[in-house]
Structure 1
Amino acid sequence: MLSNEEYIQHSLELNLFFMRILKEHAFFLESAFGPNDQALAQQAEVLKNEFSALLAETLCLADGLLSPEVLSSGELVTRLTLDSELASTYYSGISLDNELTRQELSLGSSPYPLNPSLVDQISSLNQRAISATTILADYKSKLLQNILSCRTFTFNYPLLIDHILREARFYLKMLTTLQNSQTVDLKRDIIDQEIFWNRIMAEHAYFIRGLLDPTEEELFETAHRYGKTFDNLTKQALTMTEQTTILPKLSHKAQEATVGLRDFKVAGTEGLLQCKIKAIMVPLLGDHVVREANHYLRILNAFTSRLR
């Protein structure tokens, strides 16, 4: 069972990562609707603002309470996040709260113990995050059903809608585990995380491949190779229920592949910001998938150190 201090820190770190991710999901959804679906776009705008408000509240609680590993991971914000937001707002006309990004860039850690009296505030925050995420997941689910039945059109891939729906549900699962003080089995958690994130990384590579201009053949091939690499890693992770002895080796393979894909994503985001890559992709989507890779890398680094 987690101590109060662990509960507070784990909750803050989980929320800071996923609240920004889900806020940006709403942005990507809103920006991809045509004139006939402005009611859906407005719903996405409301959801984006809800997660912005939750993120702002979390930031007020979190400064000085985060682990150095999270602060240095690049999963909350990167050096490209602010520029990516500004460029994406310019392209889409949809506003983003850049002050939140500036605040996150200045977050610090503290050597002092966490205050256990924050438990009630954090518990309330987590419950409101569960409610907001449930609403967003329901919105994504209904949207996906309508897209697949040809009742709605969006410039987002159906797989992307399914992808971000799975991320919302994964966040809900982790929040619920925290709220219920459930004990996590280390090896089972490692396997579940690797199955989930390897699939996510594969799909990132395929999304990048599909959003590149057809003339970007070298980048297309690189993205395709990373997609196949992570498909393989996902298949291997799915066998780990019976072959856990080779888990450290698989985690190491996932680390190496994720570093390579993360660096490819960083170079791609820089290329979009500098107008050196031809694609139908806003820079914020590039930075978004960089942060998800950084998050996965921190998890893998923690796992490999605990498995030694």
Structure 2
Amino acid sequence: MLSRRDYIKTSLELNLFFGRIMKEHMIFMEVGLLIIDSSLILEGDQLKRSFEEILLETIALSKGAINQEVLESEELVTPLTLNSETITQDNTGICINKEITLEELELESNPYFDFTSELERRIDNINKRAINLVIEVIKFKEKVLAKLLECKMFANLYQLLIDHILREAKFYLMALENVQKQTKPITDILEQEIFWDTIMKEHAFFIRGLLDPTEVDLFNTANDFSQRFDELIERTEEANKEDIPKITKEAIKLTTEIRDFKVTGTEGLIDCQIKAMAYPLLGDHILREANRYIRLLKSYLKGH
């Protein structure tokens, strides 16, 4: 059973991280959809705006309430986020509320923060609304994926990408529903590692698939990461309880390597030094996911 303090902290951190991830998924889908599917573009844009509203409310309630480790991990926002959003908005024409990023960059942790019952009530309201909104996002992604798989539409979006962001939405929904039952979002570390290792492997796939054919070295590096994560997933699926510390250390090492690769890639997209069918916000997005995963892994090891 989560204490009031843990319920508030966990809820805020979940919504700050995944709320941004969800709204960026809508941006990525908007970029990839064609004018013939303008109704889907408008639907995705409305979902994006709804998440931006929840994010702004969550940020206002988060000042002082979240852990210093979360702020330092750069999972909510990185030094590259604002620049990535500006360039992506300029190049795609899609509106991105950069006030969210500016406010997140100002967030601080206060060890003497007062976790009141009124704050708990307001967080409960945000969680309930976030659950309803994620369910809408899941339906939207499922609709687009079904059309793509049945060849009833064309989009500049990999089917695996839609499946990937659909799984992330379902993961967020499960975590929120668990928190609303006053339990930890995810308890099984190996289950969590398999989920995030798969996400990291698929990031390597997407990087590989979006690079210009002339970017041979980057292609080979991305391909190598996908194979190494594949091997790690296999070992994790076969692991016993006593193997967890060793497997977790391997996951930290490999995820740190791909995180550094993503930093270089995002900087390269910002500086127009990499030829790819990608924009900086996509790079910053997958960088933040690696940052969160590294923090979760280190946090687990520290507690065991």
Q: How many residues align?
A: 303
Deviation at 1:183, TM superposition (A): 5.8
Gap change, CA 1:143 and 1:3, over 3 Å in 2:
same
Distance 1:77 1:167 in 2: 18
Q: Percent identity?
A: 47
Q: Is the 8 A contact 2:64 2:113 kept in 1?
A: no
Distance 1:205 1:125 in 2: 33
Distance 2:65 2:58 in 1: 11
Provide the residue aligned with 2:302 in structure 1. 305
Aligned 1:1-308 pairs, distance under 5 A:
1-117=1-117, 118-182=119-183, 186=187, 189-240=188-239, 243-307=240-304
Partner SS for 1:76: coil
Distance 1:63 1:116 in 2: 14
Q: Is the 8 A contact 2:175 2:186 kept in 1?
A: no
Deviation at 1:251, TM superposition (A): 0.3
Spell out, residue by residue over 1:86-107, the C-alpha distance to the aligned partner (whole angstroms, 9 max, x if none). 0001111001001110000010
Distance 1:61 1:269 in 2: 30
Spell out, residue by residue over 1:244-284, the C-alpha distance to the aligned partner (whole angstroms, 9 max, x if none). 11111000000000000000000000001101100000110
Spell out, residue by residue over 1:123-169, the C-alpha distance to the aligned partner (whole angstroms, 9 max, x if none). 11101000000000110011101100001111010000000000000
Q: Which amino acid aligns with 2:24?
A: E
Q: Is the 8 A contact 2:176 2:185 kept in 1?
A: no
Distance 2:22 2:185 in 1: 24
Normalised by the length of structure 1, the TM-score is: 0.97
Distance 1:126 1:34 in 2: 33
Deviation at 1:184, TM superposition (A): 7.2
Gap change, CA 1:283 and 1:182, over 3 Å in 2:
same
Distance 1:30 1:185 in 2: 31
Spell out, residue by residue over 1:188-231, the C-alpha distance to the aligned partner (whole angstroms, 9 max, x if none). x2111101000000000010000000000000000001111111
Q: Which amino acid aligns with 2:213?
A: P
Gap change, CA 1:286 and 1:180, over 3 Å in 2:
same
Q: Which amino acid aligns with 1:249?
A: K
Partner SS for 1:72: helix
Distance 2:90 2:113 in 1: 42
Distance 2:254 2:186 in 1: 25
Q: Is the 8 A contact 2:88 2:281 kept in 1?
A: yes
Q: CA RMSD in A?
A: 1.1
Gap change, CA 1:283 and 1:68, over 3 Å in 2:
same
Distance 1:185 1:119 in 2: 21
Distance 2:244 2:285 in 1: 28
Partner SS for 2:73: coil
Distance 1:139 1:13 in 2: 24
* More displaced 10-residue stretch of structure 1: 174-183 or 43-52: 174-183
Distance 2:226 2:68 in 1: 31
Distance 1:133 1:177 in 2: 14
Deviation at 1:185, TM superposition (A): 8.0
